[in-house]
Each structure stands twice: as structure tokens, then as C-alpha cells.
Structure 1
Amino acid sequence: MSAAAAAVARAARRYFSSRLHTTTTRLLHASDSQAAPREASGSFIHPAAVVHPDAAIGQGVSIGPFCTVGPSARVGDACQLHAGSHVVGDTELGEGCVVQTGAILGADIPGRTIIGENNVIGHYAVVGAKCQDLKYKDWTHTAGAVVVHQFCHIGSYSFLGGGSVVAQDVPRYMMVAGDRAELRGLNIEGLKRNGFSDQEEQEIELSESPAVSCMVESIRMSFVQGHRGICKFRSWNSS
């Protein structure tokens, strides 16, 4: 490259770098100059969030920047929507749920997505997109980048491992992982965190507790109410 061409290239880089800096600064100042964060019923809605006026927002809700809440969405009390998460379509989010960055709940197609109470939806998880009548129970934990198939039911206190593709129902108390997701055993850590004693955990494993009846009922209802069945147990001989 000649000296003249190199000089022109350097000048162009400086020019466009300056323009980019100016544009970025203007955008940041424009964001700062927007209306103050909206507060209604004790809830916080970041000014950069898009919340439809017809959406039902509970008390004590926190909605971060660049979130989307659609007109048919219902967000329960004390929910937290982290930056860039989306609740769209006919989606109901129970109380105390945490939706982490980039997660998508629901879709603008027929059918409902129902998320129970005190659930954690991990980063970039997709729940209910292109689904009909998907149901989450309470106290479930969905790790990051999980995809849940249409019509699935996710039982209470269950755990969906990161990156799983869940194509069948997940029974209560269970842990699943993989593509396609397979049962890996009890969600022991989740049970401990939610106040289950060691004795209760052993009783669940040994089928001597009322909790087991709930788990069995959860499995039975998967076959009564739908046609997908439950996730298969992982073969102990597989890696």
C-alpha cells in the first residue's frame, strides 16, 4: 500500500470511529433523557422495556431493560424479568418467578403457556415458543439454553439441565438432561434447597412417602391428559 493510500485509510478509520462514538453517545443520552422508570403497584419497569398497556402486571414486579411483555401476558407478583427476556402470547407467569437474560416464554400463536410459582427460567431458555398448552408447575428450575416441546408438562421441584431439549413430560421431583432429555434421577439438590429433609428424600427414593404418591400421580396424569408420555430413564450403561 502506498503512503498516500495508508494515510487515507488512517483518516477514514479516525472519521468512522469518531462517528460511531458520537452516535453511541447520542443513543446513551437519549436513553438517559427518557421518562423515569415506571412504577405501578410497587413494580419497577425500566424505561427501555416494552410492556403492552393491556398486559397484567402484579405487585412488586421488576422488569429490566429491553424486555418485552405482550398484551395477553400475565406476570404474577414479585416476578423478576432480567434484561432482554420476553413474555409474549397467552402466557401466565406465577408469583415469584425469575426469568433470566434472553429467555423467551410463550409465542403469538394459539394455545397457552402456564408457568407456576417460584420457578427459575435460565439464560436463553425457550419455553412455549411454537407451543400449545404447555404447563409448568411450581418450584422448577430450568437451566440455560433449554428448549421445551409443545404440550409438555413440567412437574413441581423438577430440574431441567442446561442445553436440554425436553420433548416429553418431566415428573415431579425429577432431574432431566440431554438431547433428547432423559431422566437422571431425583433432583436431590433442589429438594434440599426447598426444605425437604434427608428422610423425606430417602422416602421418595424408597416409595414410602405421600410425596411418592404425588410423583406417581404426576406420571399417571401425563398419560391421561396427553399423548407424549414422560422422559425416558437414561441407560446406566451409556456415557
Structure 2
Amino acid sequence: MIHPTALVDPSASLAEDVEVGPFCVIGPDVTVGPGSVIGPHVVIKGPTVLGARTRIFQFASVGENCQDKKYAGEPTRLVLGDDNVIREGVTLHRGTVQDRGETTIGSRNLFMAYVHVGHDCVIGDDCILANQVTLAGHVHLGHFAILGGLSAVHQFCHFGEHAMAGGGSIITKDTPAFIMINGNPAQAHGLNAVGLKRRGFDRETIKALTDSYKLIYRQGLTVDQALATMRQRYDLDAVERFAASIECSTRGIIR
């Protein structure tokens, strides 16, 4: 299951059925879960934990030292959940002690070719990052986030659950949950209604979120006024999550 040209450190922990392709380098303090397949010419540096059924394609670099100039070799970590797909040339960096000390990635995410995930990022489950998406350090992505190709996210930005960014978006502020954005600089372009329908949100919830979006973006209200109004109108979990994604913003929301 391990190609004879691969270099695997004796202290690395690989499940019995892990496949490792030609010319891979797997360093110490690396754990790879069962059912995983590591393609040729992949480099994995620890401390890194890869969950079950991880699929890594050729020339990816996983768990490398981060590019933050403050990083001084501390033993920070990269931790991934299960069923992640990491395509060609992807770079996933470990954390820094100045933040969480860990870059954390959930399960069932797709990282298309040449995606970069910087230090201390937190990525939820079921996200799609298209080709050449770049996340600076300290970025947080909610569950089911979708970033179109060549999008870039500024450090410390939060990108909400079920939100979607069109290709080439330059994202320098926080993106509320459930909305669509696009452009340079990115601007809001409505609710991600099609995505919500595909994920099983019912008509009542989508209508309430659409109305809540209009309160924030179309009615000329202050953010506080809009939040108070939507909470008075709707006692729905999704509306509360939308409101909370706005309230937690530290960089201001995309308008």
C-alpha cells in the first residue's frame, strides 16, 4: 500500500489500509486515518492529523510551516476531519501560537486545484473552494460555504454558513450567512436561495431569510434596527443564525 519510493517517517501513524503513492514524503507527527489515499509527490509535515478517507492528489503540500513572519518553529497543528478531497497543488498550513495554534478543517470539504489555506483558519463542513481560492491567516468559513475560483479572503474575515462568493471576489469584510457576494471589492447580491433549496430549506424559511436580507440591505435601516425588526417578525432558527452572523462581525459586513 506504500510505494517503495515514498519516504515515511517511522513515527508517522498511518492506518493499515492507507495508500501512499510514489515519491511522497510523510514526516514525523503525522496521523492518517483509515481509507485514505495519498497520491504521488505529496508532502505532509506534522503535527498534522488527517481523518478517515482523506484523498490527496499530486503535488499538494499539507501541514507545512506557515508563512507568518512571527512563526519561529513552534509545534503548531493542522487537523482535518473525514472525507476531505485535496486536489493538485493545494497548500494547507499549520497554525501559530499567536492565535489558536491550530488550523482546523471539518469534514467533506473539496479543495480544488491550487487552493491555499493560511495559518489558523477554521473551516466548517461541506465547503467547496474552487481553483486558486486563497484564504489568508485567521479566516473562518461556516458550513456549506462556497468560494468561486480565484477568490481571495482577507485575514481575520468570517464567511458565513451557506454563503457563496462568485469567482474572482476580493473579500475584505465579513460575509453574513446565507447570502451571495461577488466583485472587487465584493458586494452583496441577494440571498443564496438556490443553494438553500438544494440543501432542503423549506419555502417558509427561505421567504423569512429573503425578508431579513432586505431589512439589512434594502430598507435604509441601521443594522441594529434591522436585527430587532427581523427578530420581532420571525422566531426561526435560520433567521437567528443570520442575525448572529452579522452581530459577531468585527470587520464590518459586506454591503
Q: In which range does the TM-score fall when normalised by the shorter chain?
A: 0.7 to 0.9
How many residues are treated as equivalent by the alignment? 190
**d(CA) in 2 for partners of 1:185 and 1:179?**
16
Aligned to 2:240: 213
Flag the 1:122–1:148 CA change in 2: closer, same or farther, 3 A: same
How far residue 159 of structure 1 moved from its aligned partner, in angstroms, is 0.2
Aligned to 1:37: 20
**d(CA) in 2 for partners of 1:190 and 1:96?**
17
**C-alpha contact (below 8 Å) 1:88/1:105 kept by paired residues:** yes
Percent same amino acid at aligned positions?
Answer: 28
Give ranges in structure 1 of 5+ residues lacking alignment.
1-31, 233-239
Flag the 1:33–1:121 CA change in 2: closer, same or farther, 3 A: same
**d(CA) in 2 for partners of 1:43 and 1:206?**
44
How far residue 135 of structure 1 moved from its aligned partner, in angstroms, is 0.9
Aligned to 1:11: none
Aligned to 2:126: 118
Q: What does 1:97-136 correspond to in 2, within 5 Å? A: 97-107=109-119, 112-128=120-136, 131=137, 133-136=138-141
**C-alpha contact (below 8 Å) 1:203/1:209 kept by paired residues:** no
What is the root-mean-square deviation in Å for CA atoms of aligned residues?
Answer: 1.8
SS at match of 2:132: coil
Q: What does 1:68-147 correspond to in 2, within 5 Å? A: 68-71=61-64, 72-90=77-95, 91-107=103-119, 112-128=120-136, 131=137, 133-147=138-152
SS at match of 1:66: coil
How far residue 209 of structure 1 moved from its aligned partner, in angstroms, is 5.2
How far residue 127 of structure 1 moved from its aligned partner, in angstroms, is 0.8
**d(CA) in 2 for partners of 1:104 and 1:193?**
27
**d(CA) in 1 for partners of 2:235 and 2:39?**
46
The structure with the largest alpha-carbon Rg is 1
SS at match of 2:254: coil
How far residue 54 of structure 1 moved from its aligned partner, in angstroms, is 2.6
Q: Which moved more, 1:143-152 or 1:203-212?
A: 203-212
- TM-score, with normalisation over the residues of structure 2? 0.70
SS at match of 1:73: strand
- Post-superposition Cα deviations, 1:67-118, rounded to whole Å, max 9, x if no partner, equal 01015322211100011111113221111111000111114xxxx1111111
Aligned to 1:49: 42
Higher strand share: 2
Runs (4+) of structure 1 exceeding 4 A deviation are none
Give ranges in structure 2 of 5+ residues lacking alignment.
7-18, 22-31, 65-76, 96-102, 213-233
- TM-score, with normalisation over the residues of structure 1? 0.74
